[in-house]
Amino acid sequence: MAKCSFIGLGVMGYPMAGHLVSAGHDVRVWNRTNSKAKTWASEYKGIAADTIEDAVDGADFICLCVGDDSDVYAVMEPILQAARSGAVVIDHTTASDDCAKTCYANAAGKGLAFIDAPISGGEAGAVNGQLTVMCGGDQAAYDAAKPIMDAYAKATKLMGPSGAGQVTKMINQICIAGAVQGLAEGVHFAQKAGLNVADVVEAIGKGAAASWQMLNRAETMDKDEFEHGFAVDWMRKDLGIALRTAERIGADLTLAKQVDGYYAEIQEMGGGRWDTSSLLRRLTT
């Protein structure tokens, strides 16, 4: 059993912290809205801390799952002041690789380890403990943290030095953007051609066109249901990170940039909280 703290109890963090309790760890949480931390503590029999300093005091592992770079920097400041030497910070936020490298260096200066560990799998993956974690950092820190992450992950992998986890997450989102747009156009085409979308998926869903998106989102897209996963607002945040990084390193993300523009149209339609498969809406309205 390890002493763990979890900072950030959003859609992902709330169940992830719960899995740590179920795995037998001693868990103390902090959330910007304290009432949510207290609700979590009541549900999972953990401890809700009033401050970040109290949450991380004496912890062996400090997990973060907050919004963006600015949020990571904001919570890392008190963590650096209050965490014990030798603690491992596991940052599950999707942020920039520059943020990860800065936090890694700042943590090392205080005798802490820092791993950038963005996650994939959506809310369902968090609830079911089936997330994929892409990590950047030192081997020793990763080896120490892996048993902790195993409480809520089906797969973890160290991708390289600090920042490599965040770069891998960018690639994940780039690939998803193209896959969802392709599926949206395929479903739209099937509808316009008068075909039954379920029959189409049955026919092509085990061949080269198959994808997670097709098998899990084609049916709900056909039904015009877009409340099933990762929100458009979050996807645009993630794609923004990837596009800025691409500009810096000289990578061509023509398709990702185009799909990001489509998601901007969805936001203008009031769909910022719709899931990413809502790309179909701009083709049908």
169 is catalytic: yes
Under the phi-then-psi rule, with left for phi > 0, alpha for psi from -120 to 50, and beta for the rest, what region is 93?
A: beta
The contacts found for 177-181 with CB under 8 angstroms, 24 or more apart, are 177/235, 177/239, 177/255, 177/256, 177/259, 177/260, 177/276, 178/255, 178/256, 178/259, 179/211, 179/212, 179/213, 180/213, 180/217, 180/259, 180/276, 180/277, 180/279, 181/255, 181/258, 181/259, 181/262, 181/279
Closest CA to 90 of 134, 33, 44: 134
Residue whose pair of structure tokens reads 């902790």 in the numeric block: 148
Query: What is the DSSP secondary structure assignment for residue 229, as one 8-state letter?
Result: S
Query: Is the distance from CB of 12 to CB of 92 less than 8 angstroms?
Result: yes
Catalytic residue among 169, 192, 223, 237: 169
Q: Which residues are catalytic?
A: 169
